[in-house]
């Protein structure tokens, strides 16, 4: 019998953040995370066990090949069987990970969002990625310079405090102007109130 995967939700929307902003994407959200970041709004503990075949059937109505494995922390759940099933279905597999667990081979796009600044125990298990996406709360960004990444994004944290958010956005804009190898990532799905 094949593996099952604990899924919180599967939905179709546009990617709101980072390199693929605006891209129609199938989101597969796994349940739960090994970390407890202070700003987290996506731990999503509830879930249903699904097989790879069940997942493929669930996403069949949606035409975009772009699949985003997200969470929670998807690396706690995924394996080669799921990667092969998604590739067999013609999908491009992107993952959003906190980088604390090794990933199975074959993922097409790794978006790594390091969390060790807030949680010392969040030691990285990966050192390179396609896209580095740093949630910015005012930390010194030179700490990320050793990470190999084809694309670097700074994403001002949504703190829930309008004044603090504005300050973080201003600092992020100035940082990108001084460091043009970095780009600004905004949570555009929140602006237009889509999932
Ligand atoms: S790694 Fe992501 S999902 Fe996990 S607690 Fe931190 S922000 Fe939330």
Which residue, by CA, sits nearest to atom 1 of ligand 1? 98
At residue 44, the pLDDT reads 85
Ligand 1 mutation target, pool 72, 114, 120, most atoms within 8 A of CB: 72
Residue ranges at the known binding site for substrate: 14-16, 29, 70
From CA 154, how far away is CA 62, in angstroms rounded? 30
| Ligand 1 pocket residue status of 119, Cβ below 6 Å | no
For residue 1, the model assigns a pLDDT of 66
Cβ atoms of 25 and 17 closer than 8 Å:
no
Look at strands 148-156 and 128-136 and give their pairing.
parallel
Interhelix angle for 80-88 vs 52-59, to 10°? 30
CATH class of residue range 4-191: alpha beta
* Rg value, the chain, Cα: 17
Could you write out the DSSP letters of every residue in 140-163? Answer: -GGGGTTSEEEEEEEEE---S-HH
115 Cβ closer than 6 Å to some ligand 1 atom:
yes
Is-cis flag, bond preceding 43, omega within 30?
no
Q: Give, as one character, the DSSP assignment of residue 164.
A: H
Which atom of ligand 1 is least distant from the CA of 34? 4
Strands 182-184 and 148-156: parallel
Of the residues 8, 29, 32, 71, which should be mutated to test ligand 1's pocket, given the most ligand atoms within 8 Å of the CB? 71
Nearest to 132 by CA among 118, 120, 122, 146: 146
* Furthest-apart CA atoms within the chain: distance in Å: 54
| For the chain, domain boundaries | 4-191
pLDDT at residue number 187? 95
pLDDT one digit per residue (tens) for the chain, 195 residues: 689 999 999 999 999 999 999 999 999 999 999 999 999 988 888 999 999 999 999 999 999 999 999 999 999 999 999 999 999 999 999 999 999 999 999 999 999 999 999 999 999 999 899 999 999 999 999 999 999 999 999 999 999 999 999 999 999 999 999 999 999 999 999 999 999
User: How many Cα atoms sit within 13 Å of 168 on the Cβ side?
Assistant: 22
Which residue has the CA at smallest separation from atom 6 of ligand 1? 37
């Amino acid at each position: 019998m094949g593996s099952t995967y604990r899924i919180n939700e599967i939905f179709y929307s546009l990617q709101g953040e980072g390199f693929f902003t605006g891209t129609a994407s199938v989101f597969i959200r796994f349940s739960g995370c090994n970390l407890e970041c202070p700003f987290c709004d996506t731990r999503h503990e509830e879930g249903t066990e699904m097989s790879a075949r069940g997942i493929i059937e669930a996403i069949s109505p949606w035409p975009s090949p772009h699949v985003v494995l997200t969470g929670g922390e998807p690396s706690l759940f995924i394996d080669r069987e799921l990667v092969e099933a998604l590739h067999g279905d013609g999908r491009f597999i992107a993952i959003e990970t906190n980088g604390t667990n090794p990933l199975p081979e074959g993922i097409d796009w790794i978006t790594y969002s390091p969390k060790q600044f807030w949680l010392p125990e969040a030691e990285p298990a990966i050192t390179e990625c396609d896209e580095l996406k740093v949630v910015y709360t005012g930390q010194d960004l030179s700490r990320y310079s050793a990470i190999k990444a084809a694309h670097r994004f700074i994403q001002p944290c949504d703190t829930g405090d309008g004044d603090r958010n504005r300050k973080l956005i201003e600092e992020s804009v100035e940082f990108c102007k001084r460091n043009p190898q970095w780009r600004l990532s905004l949570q555009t799905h929140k602006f237009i109130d889509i999932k």
